Amino acid sequence: MEWENQTILVEFFLKGLSGYPRLELLFFVLILIMYVVILLGNGTLILISILDSHLHTPMYFFMGNLSFLDICYTTTSIPSTLVSFLSERKTISFSSCAVRMFLGLAMGTTECVLLGMMAFDRYVAICNPLRYPVIMSKDSFVPMAAGSWIIGVINSAVQTVFVVQLPFCRNNVINHFSCEILAVMKLACADISGNEFIMLVATTLFVLTPLLLIIISYILIIVSILKIRSSEGRSKVSTCSAHLTMVIIFYGTILFKYMKPKSKETLNSDDLDATDKLISMFYGVITPMMNPLIYSLRNKDVKEAVKHLLRRNVFKK
């Protein structure tokens, strides 16, 4: 069959780190350990946010949603990646690839919007503390969290539908660990400028707009705190430090991955490919692992809730 002729692809080949067999075993062990930490850490945060009445606030409600999101996101990608490291067969069916592409994009979009919501919550808490109970009431923050999930699902559904309708030719090698939407789009034997435009619009709305909201919120927070010449100002900074650290790690990885310069000489090199894949792994594994660690280490309320939960379990025994 000629290259120009279309074929109905039934599976893709995930290249991953197939060119680095020694690294595959090393990363299998590392990622497995990280996945266990992700499940334990985020699971603990969800548990204490439900059981401890002191944490029944908008901030910790958003945090619980973020932890649940991280568990879902990693569970849709890590187990299959671990299996591929040990298996000689690194193929995935077209339908399974579409499902993973949809889930990954939905979770990523939802996390961006959630981080923006959390920044707005911190802004209201610090800059408008008297109006906080009214603005961030249960009738407000629950729909805000639900809206984040709905936006993620709709954005992912639209982009996934447009991608799976593209015609694919004989090239079925995805140069990635998973079915990342951009990596799949590049395999299409058709003009993908329309898909790229849709992706650009979605990125502007659901990635850059929340980032702009976060930046504006923290500028206003810093200005407000600088006007307070007391220890109260420093204590308010500590309530934002965990969220701000998460934002820096999350968006810093995304910006570095997609905006770092690529010279023509190294654009197609294997070293560059390996670097991009490792950056993607950092974004998809280390970030969800760091979130509960950041919140537990930099938040007194979470520390006290964990200690209370442990003491209660010890006394029961």
Q: Residue 121 domain-assigned? A: yes
* Of 264, 282, 286, 285, residue with least CA distance to 274: 282
Domain that holds residue 203: 7-259+268-304
pLDDT in tens, the chain (317 residues): 333 444 456 688 887 666 667 777 888 898 899 999 999 999 988 988 888 888 888 988 999 999 999 999 899 888 888 888 887 777 888 888 899 899 989 998 999 999 999 999 999 988 898 999 999 999 999 999 999 999 999 999 999 999 998 888 777 888 777 788 888 888 888 888 999 999 999 989 999 999 999 999 999 998 888 877 666 555 556 668 778 888 888 888 777 766 655 544 444 444 445 566 666 666 778 888 888 888 766 667 777 777 777 776 655 55
Q: Residue 239 domain-assigned? A: yes
What's the confidence (pLDDT) of residue 252?
80
Contact between 17 and 277 under an 8 Å Cβ cutoff? The reply is: yes
What's the confidence (pLDDT) of residue 234?
58
What's the confidence (pLDDT) of residue 264?
45
CA angle 294, 245, 81 (to 5 degrees): 70
CATH number of the domain to which 202 belongs: 1.20.1070.10
CA distance 272 to 276: 6
Q: Residue 311 domain-assigned? A: no
What's the confidence (pLDDT) of residue 251?
84
Q: Residue 281 domain-assigned? A: yes
Of the chain, the end-to-end C-alpha distance in Å amounts to: 69
* Of 109, 146, 114, 120, residue with least CA distance to 213: 120
Helix (H) or strand (E) holding 281: helix 270-281
Spatial neighbors of 132 by CB under 8 A, at least 6 apart, are: 124, 125
Beta bridge partners, 2, equal none
Which phi-psi region, left, alpha or beta, contains residue 299 (left: φ > 0; alpha: ψ -120 to 50)? beta
What's the confidence (pLDDT) of residue 58?
92
**Structure-token match 């802004």, residue found:** 123
Helix axis angle, 21-51 to 58-75, nearest 10° = 150
Q: Residue 237 domain-assigned? A: yes
Q: Residue 1 domain-assigned? A: no
What's the confidence (pLDDT) of residue 233?
56
What's the confidence (pLDDT) of residue 113?
95
Structural domains in the chain (count): 1
Spatial neighbors of 234 by CB under 8 A, at least 6 apart, are: none
Q: Residue 314 domain-assigned? A: no
Contact between 211 and 251 under an 8 Å Cβ cutoff? The reply is: yes
Q: Residue 20 domain-assigned? A: yes
Contact between 114 and 148 under an 8 Å Cβ cutoff? The reply is: yes
